[in-house]
Amino acid sequence: MIRKLRGGIHPLEEKNTKDLPIRQATEPKQVVIPLQQHTGVPCQPLVKIGDQVNVGQKIGDINAFISAPVHSSVSGKVVAIEPRAHPLGPTVLSIVIESDGKNLVDENVRPKGNLDSLTPAQIKDAVREAGIVGLGGAAFPTAVKLFPPEGKKIDTLLLNGAECEPYLTADYRLMVERAEEIIYGMKLLMKALNVQQGIIGIEDNKPQAIKTMITQIKKSDSTDYNLRNQELKKIRVISLKTKYPQGSEKHLIKVMLDREVPSGGLPLDIGVVVNNVGTAFAVYEAVVTGLPLIKRTVTISGDGVKEPGNLEVKIGTLFQEVIDQCGGLNGKVEKVIMGGPLMGLAQYTTEVPIIKGTTGILLLKDSGIIESQPCIRCGRCIDVCPMYLMPTMYALLVEHKKWEETEKYSIVDCIECGCCAYVCPSKIPLVHYIKYGKAELLALKKKI
């Protein structure tokens, strides 16, 4: 039985790019590769200024469990290693590479094997070395999810195809155009985890994606050696009733499996691993072609760009270069956002690079900023909160700098989905208060 998402909202979908096929972005003349594009420990450079590098060459890494290496997306010369603007906010040490236009591929980029020949350990190693992270936006290192702590038994892999954020259609296009590769990548992840159940959750506003994925599953079930000669690994698609923020992994688990991730816990604690469909595609590429994560599909949308679309872009390409390939700005743009309008991050410049977690570039002529008014205690933010929290209390406590009190109200459990701010009649920037409160609470704990 599929359960209804508690709370949440129904924002305007604005998925105007859903029927636009993925197209290849123009080759960048220069790329800026940040050494941190993932949750966890930043990488250290493995190259120096003046070095010649090739496509897929590892250029940054560190010996840490929660981390992910970075690779060159072009062939050319390293011209700088310095702090550069980063779409997540602060400057980050980055490797700047001037492309020679030759796209010479590194000798280590070669097929790693296939579903039947590779052991779970070999798949995990390939995923780690390819620098794959969650491509839904969180950018958590995928290999870490493949190593559950001792005593944590994983029985289900969920593949997230919900893509409930307005405007974004990159995952949808991947499911429509590259279903075979996604299913193959999913099977690799299932083998690495030794699980027998795989479920793909897709919202019912994406009927073509649902149909395509089901067709591909049936096709692969009849031809895949792994399925015919080993214990059946069941993969199925579940159509979910469209509602935001159903793409959050905690809510996807609750709706599809009726399991709850404990406060402060992870899906691993309840036997589940969740990956994005784009991540599964990246796993396929890493194993079958040997190509590390050096490119991704990005949606460019909004009324502030002339020719919206879905582009496959090399990591390190600057936002401005991608925008120019979509016809440039459509008049005066008030806001540029990495991601969607509800959970995305506003940018102060377009001279920032596409990173592994860049799901989209949203350009808006009218940012919708309205001066906030005092809270009227209507409780709408509480009604729509999918985490059963009290957002109005966070605004009050943060305003009065009551950091420890915010913890008592479980501020760390907030997923910053923006539902509260969306429905607030006083237009209080609740997510801003919550982000600020979390940062101050963390700083306070570090001092103790």
β-strands 58-61, 70-71: how paired?
A: antiparallel
CA-nearest of 434, 377, 431, 446 to 409 is 434
Amino acid at 164: C
3-class secondary structure, 235: strand
Distances, alpha carbon 347 to alpha carbons 36, 38, 135, 271, 418, in Å: 18, 18, 19, 37, 17
Among all chains, which residue has been given the structure tokens 């990005």?
Answer: 298
3-class secondary structure, 82: strand
Same fold, 23-98+293-364 and 120-289: no
Residue 151 confidence (pLDDT): 86
Question: CA 44 from chain center: how many Å?
Answer: 23
* Burial state string for 89-107 with b = 16 or more CB within 10 A and e = fewer than 16: eeebbbbbbebeeeebebe
Nearby residues of 30 by Cβ (< 8 Å), 6 or more positions away: 79, 96, 97, 98, 99
Please tell me the pTM assigned to this model.
0.93
Residue 46 confidence (pLDDT): 98
CA-nearest of 106, 114, 281 to 200 is 281
Residue 94 confidence (pLDDT): 98
The answer to whether residues 172 and 203 touch, using CB atoms and an 8 Å cutoff, is no
Read off the tokens for 380. 């709408």
3-class secondary structure, 345: strand
The answer to whether residues 146 and 193 touch, using CB atoms and an 8 Å cutoff, is yes
The answer to whether residues 315 and 309 touch, using CB atoms and an 8 Å cutoff, is no
Residue 226 confidence (pLDDT): 44
Taking the chain, what is the end-to-end CA distance rounded to the nearest angstrom? 46
Among all chains, which residue has been given the structure tokens 């190693």?
Answer: 125
Positive or negative, the CA dihedral 27, 28, 29, 31 is: negative
Distances, alpha carbon 46 to alpha carbons 53, 54, 304, in Å: 11, 13, 39
* Burial state string for 302-327 with b = 16 or more CB within 10 A and e = fewer than 16: bbbbeebbbbebbbbbbbbbbbebbe
The answer to whether residues 430 and 394 touch, using CB atoms and an 8 Å cutoff, is yes
3-class secondary structure, 21: coil
Domain boundaries, the chain: 23-98+293-364, 120-289, 380-447
List strands edge to edge, sheet with 52-53. Answer: 30-34, 89-99, 76-86, 52-53
The answer to whether residues 403 and 437 touch, using CB atoms and an 8 Å cutoff, is yes
Write the class of the CATH domain 23-98+293-364: alpha beta
Among all chains, which residue has been given the structure tokens 């792994």?
Answer: 226
Residue 369 confidence (pLDDT): 66
* pLDDT (tens place) for every residue of the chain, 448 residues total: 566 788 999 999 999 999 999 999 999 999 999 999 999 999 999 999 999 999 999 999 999 999 999 999 999 999 999 999 999 988 999 999 999 999 999 999 999 999 999 999 999 999 999 999 999 988 999 999 999 988 889 999 999 999 999 999 999 999 999 999 999 999 999 999 999 899 999 999 999 999 999 999 988 865 444 444 344 458 999 999 999 999 999 999 999 999 999 988 889 999 999 999 999 999 999 999 999 999 999 999 999 999 999 999 999 999 999 999 999 999 999 999 999 999 999 999 999 999 999 999 999 998 666 788 999 999 999 999 999 999 999 999 999 999 999 999 999 999 999 999 999 999 999 999 999 999 999 888 887 6
Angle at 287 between CA 140 and CA 117, to 5 degrees: 125
Peptide bond into 245 cis (omega under 30): yes
β-strands 309-314, 22-24: how paired?
A: parallel
CA-nearest of 28, 51, 37, 40 to 92 is 37
In CATH, the number for domain 120-289 is: 3.40.50.11540
Environment class of 369 (CB within 10 Å of its CB; exposed 0-12, middle 13-18, buried 19+)? exposed
